[in-house]
Chains A and B, each alone.
Chain A
Amino acid sequence: MEIFSNLLLGFQVALTPFNLLMCLVGVLLGTLIGVLPGVGPVATIAMLLPITFNLNPIGALIMLAGIYYGAQYGGSTTAILVNLPGESSSVVTCLDGYQMARQGRAGPALATAALGSFFAGCVATLVVAMFAPPLAEVALKFGPAEYFSLMVLGLVAAVVLAHGSLLKAIAMVILGLLLGLVGTDVNSGVLRFAFNISELADGIGFVTVAMGMFGLAEIITNLEHTETREVFTSKVKHLWPTKEDWKRLWGPVLRGTFLGSALGILPGGGALLASFGAYTLEKKVSKYSHEFGKGAIEGVAAPESANNAGAQTSFIPLLTLGIPSNAVMALMIGAMMIQGIAPGPQVMTERKELFWGMIASMWVGNLMLVVLNLPLIGMWIKLLTVPYRILYPSILVFMAIGVYSLSNNPFDVFLMSIFGLLGYVCVKLECEPAPMILGFILGPLMEENLRRAMLLSRGDPMTFIQKPISAGFIIASVILLVIIALPALRKKREEVFVEE
């Protein structure tokens, strides 16, 4: 079995003391920046690149990869504890994770996130090891038409994220799509809705919107309630998931891992959809769907597993084709090139020790992360007992520094404040931000792919149906739409009958 000899080679590389150290440094640093809102892996890896020039290539890449998936672990911590999604993947973790924290169940939420991520990471690493080349071929089958149809499915699914009015949720998705269009139009290069503000030329940053709509709005709303001074219940029930929790956990973790591994392969934004998709799926299949948005443990388990699985499998297009699936992967390409390694198909054959060493290190890194994170839970929970009047200015400082550092420009902080205001108004009007954020992320991708597909097909919309993968997504979207709309319609009809 070649795979075993390859994995053996990988572990020999990954387990050398130096590479172990690099891996540890990477995951520690990743966890730290993941926990700090706003400062993301992209900025950190970029700043560390020059330091890696003098390391050996394998050690350097192992460390950088560690920062990437370490940040995914750390990011969920902040999402759960203080409702701050630092990464697009942790937006959905906020929905139920933060509610669990407010109910004194931060411990189980964090443990679920860590264990779910670990399981997903292990499985996804195995997937990368066994199927990387054939899966890369699958990724290449996705062109503009397929991506557009996938985005449509994602948007329909976004509506499920809301637990209130369906109509308002759809409107919020559209609003998100529109806000995502601000900036330079990819196809024509025209600046849209930028009001001659050059800072808006590259569009509105995700972190800025998420910090404003979730973080700032949450702090302002919390400060309003004059009678309840503490935001979190002081009674922390337990640190670990209960027996009941365990029973509810494993299904979502399995499904999340599967969905995340599959979507992570797609370089054009597939991984973005992983956590959203997993959450939607659970909300539809779960017996406890009425608890979603109010602290359902499935709502943490599924998206966390999905996003970590996706983080691992998103290395597939990088390692096999040299195509980066996100900004972090683009940086890894930069790091490889600086080291004199041409990222591309030859890495797997010509630099076996690098390819397999990295895969093995991902597993080692995931193990380190879970060992590291579980004991930390106790400390995080202590943090919630800090009085809110101390906690919120500290959160504000970290948010402001993080957002400012995005492009060293006060404008981003200004924009965050605007979105804080919008988020606050939305809270008052019961318009939920999560569907909007998904629309915001997908909007530009969707338009870009739609227009590109139309250009390539010379204006024939049948292209979306003639291509089998694309057609599959369109059909799935229609089915999902019916599933979502039917209960709502039925409810309306019942109400009408009652009134009569």
Chain B
Amino acid sequence: MKIKGPKEFWAGLMFIAFGLFFLIGSQINYQMGTAVRMGPGYFPSVLGGILAVLGVLVLVDAFVEDGPKVPKFNFRPLVMILIACLAFAYTLKPLGLIGAIAALVFIGAFGGHEFKFKEVTILTVVLVIFSVLVFVKGLTLPFPIWPAFME
């Protein structure tokens, strides 16, 4: 058995995993009910089963048909961008919009190809001013502007 279509292979595995997760999860935790009074487990069980079967079909395809390779994962932008978003979310309350935007822009910029400190700093300032004017002043979102310790 040789994997001819790696993309299909991994996609198939992903679908099987998701399908089984929902199928088993709902079988363990929720009632199936009957067709008249469908329980909360009915719909997810059926769909999870279908998804797992589709996953198997995709997997079979991977052994039958030639397909392209899975392109390499480039972890730097992936990790940096995701961390940047999380940094924003969890620093907004303690550090205010100023701190959170700075965190997002600086970490996010590390995910790019070049990092120019001056440019990133200017961008941060511009974005902070814009966001404060539009979101806090204009749309009255209840965001703190300054870090909590400075208030």
Contact = CB atoms under 8 A, between A and B. Distances in A.
A–B in direct contact per CB < 8 Å:
yes
Contacts of A405: 135, 141, 143
A237 B139 CA distance: 36
Interface centre among A44, A226, A399, A410 (most CB of B within 10 A): A410
Interface string A304-347: 00000000000000000000000000000000000000000000
A320 to B, nearest CB: 32
Nearest to A408: B142
Contacts of B11: 168, 171, 429-431
A178 B142 contact: no
Interface residues of A, number: 67
A110 B61 CA distance: 40
A420 B79 CA distance: 11
Interface in B74-128: 74, 77-78, 81-82, 84-86, 88-90, 92-93, 100-101, 104-105, 108-109, 111-114, 119-120, 123, 127
Contact of B54 (A170, A181, A219, A408): A170
A451 B61 contact: no
A408 B57 CA distance: 42
Contact of A178 (B48, B78, B134): B48
Nearest to B109: A393
Given A389-B109, A401-B131, A421-B78, A458 B36 contact: yes
Contact of A420 (B31, B50, B85, B119): B85
Contact of A39 (B55, B81, B139): B139
Contacts, number: 186
Interface string B32-58: 001111111011100110110011011
A193 to B, nearest CB: 6
Contacts of B38: 187, 450-451, 454
A165 B26 CA distance: 29
Nearest to A184: B40
Interface string A152-182: 0000000000000101101100110110010
Contacts of B77: 219-220, 223-224
Contact of B25 (A175, A193, A393): A193
A185 B114 contact: no
Contact of B139 (A33, A397, A458): A33
Contacts of A168: 8, 11, 58
Contact of A174 (B51, B61, B104, B113): B51
Interface centre among A393, A394, A396, A414 (most CB of B within 10 A): A393
Contacts of B10: 429
Interface string A405-417: 1001011111011
A178 B44 contact: yes
A152 to B, nearest CB: 13
A272 interface: no
A393 B104 contact: yes
A238 B85 CA distance: 36
Nearest to B100: A400
A43 B22 CA distance: 32
A171 B135 contact: no
B7 interface: yes
B86 A178 contact: no
B14 interface: yes
Interface of A: 32-33, 36, 39, 43-44, 47, 165, 167-168, 170-171, 174-175, 177-178, 181, 185, 187-188, 190, 192-193, 216, 219-220, 223-224, 226, 229, 388-390, 392-394, 396-397, 399-401, 404-405, 408, 410-414, 416-417, 420-421, 424-425, 428-431, 447, 450-451, 454-455, 458-459, 461
25 contacts: A33-B139, A165-B61, A171-B15, A171-B54, A174-B54, A175-B15, A175-B51, A177-B47, A193-B44, A220-B81, A389-B112, A396-B108, A397-B104, A400-B88, A400-B100, A404-B92, A410-B93, A411-B89, A413-B88, A414-B89, A417-B82, A420-B85, A450-B38, A451-B43, A458-B36
Cβ-closest 7 pairs across A and B: A459-B36, A413-B89, A223-B77, A410-B89, A171-B54, A224-B74, A429-B11
Interface of B: 7-8, 10-11, 14-15, 18-19, 22, 25-26, 29-31, 34-40, 42-44, 47-48, 50-51, 54-55, 57-58, 61, 68, 70-71, 73-74, 77-78, 81-82, 84-86, 88-90, 92-93, 100-101, 104-105, 108-109, 111-114, 119-120, 123, 127, 131, 134-135, 139-143
